[in-house]
Structure formats: structure tokens, C-alpha cells
């Protein structure tokens, strides 16, 4: 029997978190904003805004009290996003809607309407419906007649009262359209989803759909009070519920059972600090409370290189792998390379960075070691994927899992055209290799756009996760999107045919009773450089390992400082900057240059 947890919400603490990296850049129209590099650094922030009574969800109608624990609330309205712009919004969908019936609203835009225009930036709009047990997103729809209007629509699935937030969003801030949040009442009867009917929905990872089909993840965020399977929710009490399937949720004991199975299982997460949140959620789901007390200060939490957690036959890997931020490889027949500079310092050398990245994949990750069952990473385009696929062993029968649209600051995803372009690009990926699958991470995480590290500011941070101390210390990494994706990865690796099938297959097979779980051994291996700049990947990490006996070891602050970096080539400094980027060192000029080699 699992130990009953004592739940404590709203603990106040001074938190040290990764400084939000803003990608607000003044760029020409032909330069994509979110291709710019980002940084990680530790900064002091103010204490948590949670009240002692757990009240966080503040709307026009007053605060929502957290339902019976452990359903964790979060903020939707704070002074930072209470300002008003000058836009006008109208439509019946602002106040009344009916379950199963399309509801619409329209925002009228003019030159002086948005704060974004006044700041000479690009503005986008967000429409989010927030109920006590359900959150949904309204999507922009194409407009055939044109004009200064932006249309939104949604189809309600659950009746009740909602606060409908209509917001003007830019990289510097967030403003309410006058009248927001609107009080919305949804009438009607919800579709019957009894426990018996819930069993008819397959496990999402067991779906056998065309690999280009991204629509299976469409749905909304609900609490256990509305979930088809009330026990299958995240530790926060929330879960993303697709329309066509159920996500299997693995408890700590489930994960430990998987760790003592006879078959090794490995999940490798590659990417930036955004994707590292998924790795950290995996770790937080797995380690015992006393083992992860110092997770935020450990090599697992503060690594710009390679880090690995092995628990029995279950392994999690994270490698800092910013290829989606680096410029592509060699141009002009291999005689020049692309260099990115921030002010007078070099940020990365595209050719060397890619060369090292591919060598790491082919020579280390798929070298003389247990190959991962699943590799997850973000990419920018089909050409980058073609380079990755070439180094994958032909005999590998695992999954290359690509994230689409997981960056909080990808403002183009909030527009009809930008969203369609991203979907079209993602649909191309699986055509290169049958082992490639794509997760529409934008759709999955959209309902939690007020729950970023900078909550409720949507684009104030690149991170969907934050350090926390919930569930009496059992939960050190908070982030519904990152934990949801972590559960998806566990499902695909541990129970590809569904958790129920997996549970039947291991019954009385790997252990006689739960006391066997205590026999597991845990190791941490790492090669974490002291510097981030220039972006670099070690072809063959030189791993230092230790057995976890008490808890994760703290890493010295001296080992996590940002290096000054090498100087930008003189010929590059003569060029005009393509834009600006916000870093922990302040605003920097960004230059992209072709340098002869």
C-alpha cells in the first residue's frame, strides 16, 4: 500500500530559478525570432505569490478556491497583466455558449489598438477559458473578408462558469482587452464519460495512426473531477485529456517496478533548458523524497553538458543540445562557416557545433553502450532532421520523438498562418524515416499558457517548469506540460501497448512484493562544463559517476558560471546587427556571419 501523502499548498520560499530568457528581438521580417540563442543562469526572484490558503486563481468574479487537494491552482491575473489595451472585442461567445456548439468572438484591431503597436513590436492575441475544473483554448480562425479583425472560435465540452481571458501578448508584457476577463456561462449537458465508457478509450501510446497525424492530442486540461479516469491525473490533480484516447499515468511505484524489469529501458532528452524541464520532471517523478532534496542545486538540475540518472534498468539522459538554435552547417561548398555573435563575443560556430553534435549521436549515444529506446529533441526544419537521421544506426528500432511548438515565446503559433506553417513543417518530418514521430506540444501545452515559470505571463519565460516544494516535499519540479510529456515518454518506453497490458505482463514476474523495490541501485553520471558559451557539445563525454546513497550531491557555484566566451571575428563585427536579444548580461546585438575557413 502506498504511503498517504500529507499535502501542503502555498508554501512560501525564496526561490532561485533559471533567469527567463526573453526572445524579444527587433528583426527584419525575413529573420525568425525564435532561432536566436538563449542562456541559462541563476537569479534571485521574489517569494511565491501563493497565498497561505492556496488561493491563486483570481478572476472578475472573485478568487477560485482550490478544490479538495491535491488539485493545485495557479495564477491567471496579477498586476503585471492587469493593464488594459485599446482593442475592442465583441461576439456572443464572450458571455454565453453551449456544449457542442461552435462559439465565436471577434477582436477589432487598429493601429493604436495594441500596446504592441505602440512599442513597435508584433502583437498576438490569446483567448483562454478558465473554469474551476476545466481550461480550454479558443483558436484564431481565417477571415475571408479581411479587414482589421481577428476572429476566434471554440466548441465547449463542459458546462459551467468560466473566466474568459482575452489578452494582447507581446514579449515585453501582456494586457487585457477591455472587459477581460469576461464571465462566460456554458449551458448544456456534457458528453457522458462514465468509468465504464472511459475503458473504451485506448491508451494514447497504443494508437496506430498515420505518423503525420498530429490531431490525436487535441483536447483540454481537466482536473480529476472531470477526468475520464480520475486516478490517472498528474500530481497537481490536472491532466491533458485528448478527445480520442487516455493518457496512462505512472506512479512512483510503477516507475520503480519498471526499473527492476529484466529489460533495460532508456529515455534520452536532448535540447535546451526548456526541454530539460521534461528531464527534470522524469527525475522528480522517480526519485524518493529524501533523494531529491537538493535537486535544483545538483548536476541534474544545473548542467550544460551531459547528465544521466540510472535506477536499476531504467535510465534517463539529458544532453544540452541546442542545434535548433545554432545556424546550419557548412555553406558554399564547405569553405565558409556561420558564426553567431552577441556583441563582441562569439556565441556559436555552426559548423563545429553541428559536427560535434552528430559525432556525439553516432559515436557516443549510439556507440558502445546501451542504446536509448527513445530520443526526444526539438528541431527547426527538415534539413536538420536529415542530418540527424543519417547518423542513426539502421538496426536501431527505437523512436526519434520530435517536439513541435514547445517554446512559450513562439508568437507565430498564436496566428492562423503561423500555426499552419508549423503543422505543415511537422508533417514533413516522419516522411524522412519511419522511426520519426512528432508530438504537437503546442496544442498539448496551450491550455497551461498561464502556468509558465513567469506565471501568468505567457512569454515572460522560456520554461514551462519551475522549482517548487509541494506535496510536503514530494514535488520539487512543478510544470504540468513538462510532467505530461514526461508521462508520455514513460508510456511509450515502458508500456507501448498500454499500461493495463503492461501491468498484466509483469504480475508476479519481476518481484514477489514491493520490498524488492528497496534493492534497486541508483547512479548519477555527468560531464557538466563550467561554461555555456560558445554553445558546444562534447563528442565523447568524460563521465564522473557516483552511487546515490543519501541524496543528490550539490554542485559548487564555482562550477556553474558563464564563461566570457571568445571574441567575435573582426570581419563579423563590421556587419550590421540583425537584431537584439535579451540575456542575463543585458541586451546584446546579434550578428550572423559567414566566415571563410
What is the DSSP code string of 201-225? Answer: SPBGGG----TT--GGG-EEEEETT
User: What is the average pLDDT score of the chain?
Assistant: 78
In a 13 Å sphere around the CA of 510, the CA atoms on its Cβ side amount to: 22
Q: What local confidence, expressed as pLDDT, does residue 479 receive? A: 94
Q: Is 120 left (phi over 0), alpha (psi -120 to 50) or beta?
A: left
pLDDT digits (tens, 9 = 90+) for 48-91: 333 333 333 333 333 333 334 467 777 776 777 777 777 889 99
Higher pLDDT: 118 or 561? It is: 561
- DSSP, collapsed to helix, strand or coil, labels residue 431 as helix
Q: What local confidence, expressed as pLDDT, does residue 73 receive? A: 74
Q: What local confidence, expressed as pLDDT, does residue 534 receive? A: 67
Report whether pLDDT(545) > 90: yes
Q: What local confidence, expressed as pLDDT, does residue 349 receive? A: 62
Report, as an integer, the average pLDDT of 382-402. Answer: 92
Q: What local confidence, expressed as pLDDT, does residue 306 receive? A: 94
Q: What local confidence, expressed as pLDDT, does residue 53 receive? A: 31
The structural domains of the chain, with segments of one domain joined by +, span 56-187, 195-339+347-524+537-557
Report whether pLDDT(332) > 60: no
Q: What is the pTM of this model?
A: 0.81
Distance CA 521, CA 124 (A): 49
CB 107 within 8 A of CB 141: no
Report whether pLDDT(4) > 80: no
> Which are the contacts of 121, defined by CB distance < 8 A and separation ≥ 6?
24, 170, 171, 172
Residue 559 pLDDT level (bands cut at 50, 70, 90) = low
Percentage of the residues of the chain whose pLDDT score is greater than 70: 74
Report whether pLDDT(560) > 50: yes
pLDDT digits (tens, 9 = 90+) for 227-239: 888 788 999 999 9
Q: What local confidence, expressed as pLDDT, does residue 531 receive? A: 67
| Helix and strand element counts for the chain (H, E) | 11, 29
Q: Which of 262-276, 467-481, 507-521 bottoms out in mean pLDDT, i.e. has the lowest?
A: 507-521
Percentage of the residues of the chain whose pLDDT score is greater than 90: 39
Q: What local confidence, expressed as pLDDT, does residue 426 receive? A: 83
CB 505 within 8 A of CB 263: no
Question: Strands (DSSP E) along 158-298, which ranges?
Answer: 160-169, 174-176, 182-187, 219-223, 238-242, 265-271
Q: What local confidence, expressed as pLDDT, does residue 112 receive? A: 60
56-187 folds as Immunoglobulin-like (2.60.40)
| 337 secondary structure, DSSP code | E
Distance CA 59, CA 166 (A): 12
Residue 285 pLDDT level (bands cut at 50, 70, 90) = very high
Residue 326 pLDDT level (bands cut at 50, 70, 90) = low
Q: What local confidence, expressed as pLDDT, does residue 52 receive? A: 31
Distance CA 540, CA 362 (A): 10
Q: What local confidence, expressed as pLDDT, does residue 463 receive? A: 87
Q: What H or E segment, with its residue span, contains residue 487?
A: helix 480-494
Residue 9 pLDDT level (bands cut at 50, 70, 90) = very low
* CA proximity to 535, closest of 356, 369, 379: 356
CB 487 within 8 A of CB 278: no
pLDDT digits (tens, 9 = 90+) for 21-50: 333 222 222 322 222 223 333 222 223 333
Higher pLDDT: 408 or 316? It is: 316
CB 285 within 8 A of CB 472: no
Amino acid at each position: 500500500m502506498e504511503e498517504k501523502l500529507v499535502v501542503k499548498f502555498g508554501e512560501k520560499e525564496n526561490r532561485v530559478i533559471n533567469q527567463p530568457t526573453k526572445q524579444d528581438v527587433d528583426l527584419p521580417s525575413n529573420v525568425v525570432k525564435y532561432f536566436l540563442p538563449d542562456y541559462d543562469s541563476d537569479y534571485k526572484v521574489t517569494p511565491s505569490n501563493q497565498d497561505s490558503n492556496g488561493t491563486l486563481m483570481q478572476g472578475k468574479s472573485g478568487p477560485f478556491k482550490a478544490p479538495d487537494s491535491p488539485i493545485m491552482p495557479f495564477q491567471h491575473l496579477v498586476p503585471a497583466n492587469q493593464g488594459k489595451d485599446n482593442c475592442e472585442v465583441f461576439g456572443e461567445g464572450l458571455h454565453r455558449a453551449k456544449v457542442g456548439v461552435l462559439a465565436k468572438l471577434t477582436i477589432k484591431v487598429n493601429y493604436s489598438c495594441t500596446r504592441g503597436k505602440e512599442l513597435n513590436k508584433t502583437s498576438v492575441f490569446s483567448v483562454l477559458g478558465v473554469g474551476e475544473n476545466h481550461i480550454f483554448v479558443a483558436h484564431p480562425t481565417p477571415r475571408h473578408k479581411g479587414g482589421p479583425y481577428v476572429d476566434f472560435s471554440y466548441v465547449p465540452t463542459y458546462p459551467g462558469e468560466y473566466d474568459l481571458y482575452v489578452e494582447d501578448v507581446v514579449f515585453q508584457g501582456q494586457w487585457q482587452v477591455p472587459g477581460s476577463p469576461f464571465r462566460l456561462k456554458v449551458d448544456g449537458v456534457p458528453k457522458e464519460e462514465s468509468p465504464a465508457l472511459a475503458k473504451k478509450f485506448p491508451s494514447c501510446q497504443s494508437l496506430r495512426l498515420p505518423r503525420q497525424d498530429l490531431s490525436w492530442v487535441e483536447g483540454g486540461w481537466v482536473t480529476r473531477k472531470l477526468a475520464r479516469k480520475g486516478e490517472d491525473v498528474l500530481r497537481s490533480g490536472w491532466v491533458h485529456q485528448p478527445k480520442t484516447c487516455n493518457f496512462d499515468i505512472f506512479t512512483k511505484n510503477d516507475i520503480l517496478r519498471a526499473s527492476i524489469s529484466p529489460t533495460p529501458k532508456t529515455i534520452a532528452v536532448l535540447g535546451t533548458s526548456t526541454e530539460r524541464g521534461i528531464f527534470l520532471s522524469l527525475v522528480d517523478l522517480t526519485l524518493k523524497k529524501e533523494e531529491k532534496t537538493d535537486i535544483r542545486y545538483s548536476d541534474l538540475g544545473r548542467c550544460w553538458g551531459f547528465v544521466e540518472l540510472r535506477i536499476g534498468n531504467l535510465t534517463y539522459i539529458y544532453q544540452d543540445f541546442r542545434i535548433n538554435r545554432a545556424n546550419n552547417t557548412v555553406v558554399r561548398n564547405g569553405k565558409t562557416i556561420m558564426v553567431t555573435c552577441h556583441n563582441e563575443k562569439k556565441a556559436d560556430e555552426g559548423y563545429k557545433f553541428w559536427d560535434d553534435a552528430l559525432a556525439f549521436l553516432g559515436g557516443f549515444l549510439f556507440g558502445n553502450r546501451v542504446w536509448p529506446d527513445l530520443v526526444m529533441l526539438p528541431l527547426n526544419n527538415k534539413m536538420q532532421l536529415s542530418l540527424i537521421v543519417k547518423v542513426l544506426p539502421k538496426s536501431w528500432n527505437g523512436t526519434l520523438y520530435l517536439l513541435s511548438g514547445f517554446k512559450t515565446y513562439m508568437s507565430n503559433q498564436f496566428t492562423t498562418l503561423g500555426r499552419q506553417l508549423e503543422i505543415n513543417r511537422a508533417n514533413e518530418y516522419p516522411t524522412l524515416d519511419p522511426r520519426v514521430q512528432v508530438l504537437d506540444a503546442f496544442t498539448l501545452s496551450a491550455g497551461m499558457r498561464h502556468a509558465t515559470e513567469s506565471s501568468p505571463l505567457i512569454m515572460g519565460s522560456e520554461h514551462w517548469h519551475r522549482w517548487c516544494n509541494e506535496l510536503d516535499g514530494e514535488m520539487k519540479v512543478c510544470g504540468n506540460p513538462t510532467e505530461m510529456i514526461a508521462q508520455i515518454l514513460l508510456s511509450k518506453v515502458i508500456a507501448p501497448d498500454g499500461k493495463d497490458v503492461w501491468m498484466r505482463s509483469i504480475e508476479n514476474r519481476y518481484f514477489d512484493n514491493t520490498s524488492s523495490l528497496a534493492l534497486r541501485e541508483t547512479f548519477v553520471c555527468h560531464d557538466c562544463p563550467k561554461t555555456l558559451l560558445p554553445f558546444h557539445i562534447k563528442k565523447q563525454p568524460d563521465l564522473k559517476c557516483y552511487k546515490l546513497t543519501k541524496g543528490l550531491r550539490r554542485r559548487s557555484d564555482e562550477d556553474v558560471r558563464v564563461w566570457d566566451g571568445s571574441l567575435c571575428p573582426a570581419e563579423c563585427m563590421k556587419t550590421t546587427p540583425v537584431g537584439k536579444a535579451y540575456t542575463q548580461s543585458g541586451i546584446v546585438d546579434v550578428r550572423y556571419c559567414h566566415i571563410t575557413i
